Chains A and B, each alone.
Chain A
Amino acid sequence: MGKQMAGGKDLKSIIKRLEYPDEARIVSQVMEQQERVKARMNRVRHKIPVLSGKGGVGKSMVTVNLAIAFARRGYRVGILDADLNGPCIPKMMGISDLSFEITQEGAIPPAGPLNIKVVSMDFLVTKEENSIRWKGPIDLSPIWLGTMEMSVLREFLSDVVWGEIDFLFIDLPPGAAADKPPVIAGLIPDLNGAVIVTIPTEISLGVVKRSITYARELGMTLLGLVENMSGFVCPVCGAEADLLDGETQRIVSDLDIPLLGSIPFDRSLSRSCDRGKPLDDAHFISRRFSWISQRITERLDLKESVFEKI
């Protein structure tokens, strides 16, 4: 069996003898990009993606309120709004009118309540636009669009002056189809553990199980579930009633993932998000988030202490 030879020469042995030149500087530019991400992310103590299986579970709202809960406990916090096509974090934080300040050191992110640093596509587009348009070929190929969005996320990590922060929450767009979770996992190999936001119907229908499996396949450690819109608070007497039967707890224990806490459906929470003003820290919903934030730090401390023993 004769090997196919290039012009009568053995290409394999030619390549072996040659040193691969990078004079077009493509490899080195890719390496530099990765180094810049690493340098910024080294100063962020905990990097926590927030995921959900489907849209409409209030994931961004949970992210914002978790960030606020951590900031109220004295931590330095940042949020990366990784939903490039429907960014809503800035509006929920009441800072939609602000923008980045471009300096030599990088892009300085706007700060919201409690000095929470926010990075979002929303800061780069005019507010009349409700979808992002990219320059380039009219027939946008999904491959090109994917590369583009990956580069945006990379720049959000590498070119932003995040500074020294304790917690960076990454609000990922819903669903595995959006492909952002693998991108984030690729850019930040040392993610500290994901939070999955779900709603009771997803738990009962087994939808959340798919999200969990998906995140685990990506090699993400899971910190736990946050069950949103878990019950109903009577607007008259303030009593909380479960919208669902006690099945939830049983199903959750089968999933082998801790339930970090439940956030009941409450109008004041959605109103606070619409107005871009955080709920008062004495509000019972704020106390729920504070409790969840403590569960998260416990889980992280536990993880760290386990690793120290190895």
Chain B
Amino acid sequence: MKFICLKCESYLLYDMQEKIEESIGITFKCPQCGYRLAMIANAGETQLVHSMGIKIGGRTSPPEALEMTRTNLDEGAETGIDWSEEAERRLEQIPPFVRPMAKTGIERFARERGYREITLPVMEEAKKRFMG
């Protein structure tokens, strides 16, 4: 799906996305006049894209093996902890080989502290604990 700026006769390009509760807001921008347009995908629509194993805007590193399957399985121990969009992106910077270890470590830390969502500040906090 694409949007077109009819004034400039040009495709709007993907600009950024943000998580708004269960929905996701995606912003597009006209490369010529700078016109911006935002669309909201609800929880169901977001899940649909996610269940295809696709990240809007592309990936910063290749997916881990069986990533979609493993991250979407609702398994007792894994539930209750969400990752914010920014935290997830930050996690992707970690080399794939050690990523699962880092992920479980941070989730365990968050669980101990009673956090429901892992955000950038939570990651910082966890980092301090692991490094210190």
Binding site for B on A (CB under 8 A): 6-7, 9, 11, 14-15, 17-18, 20-21, 23-26, 28-30, 33, 100, 102-107, 124-126, 129, 132-137, 141, 143-144, 147-148, 151-152, 154-156, 159-160
Contacts and interface: CB of A to CB of B under 8 A. Distances in A.
7 closest pairs, A vs B, by CB? A25-B58, A133-B74, A107-B65, A24-B14, A159-B65, A148-B51, A7-B6
Interface in B63-91: 63-76, 79
Given A18-B9, A20-B11, A26 B54 contact: yes
A102 B52 contact: no
A137 B76 contact: no
A154 B54 CA distance: 13
Contacts of A126: 75-76
B58 A24 contact: yes
B70 A124 contact: yes
A11 B5 CA distance: 11
A31 to B, nearest CB: 11
Interface residues of A: mostly helix, strand, loop or mixed?
mixed
A6 B59 CA distance: 34
Contacts of A33: 53
A155 B52 contact: no
A136 B82 CA distance: 12
B6 A135 contact: no
A203 B70 CA distance: 40
B42 to A, nearest CB: 9
A107 B52 CA distance: 19
A151 B66 contact: no
B74 A104 contact: no
Contact of B58 (A28, A103, A129): A28
B20 to A, nearest CB: 16
Given A21-B13, A29-B59, A148-B51, A104 B66 contact: no
B34 interface: no
Contact of B66 (A20, A136, A148, A159): A159
Contact of B9 (A9, A136, A151): A9
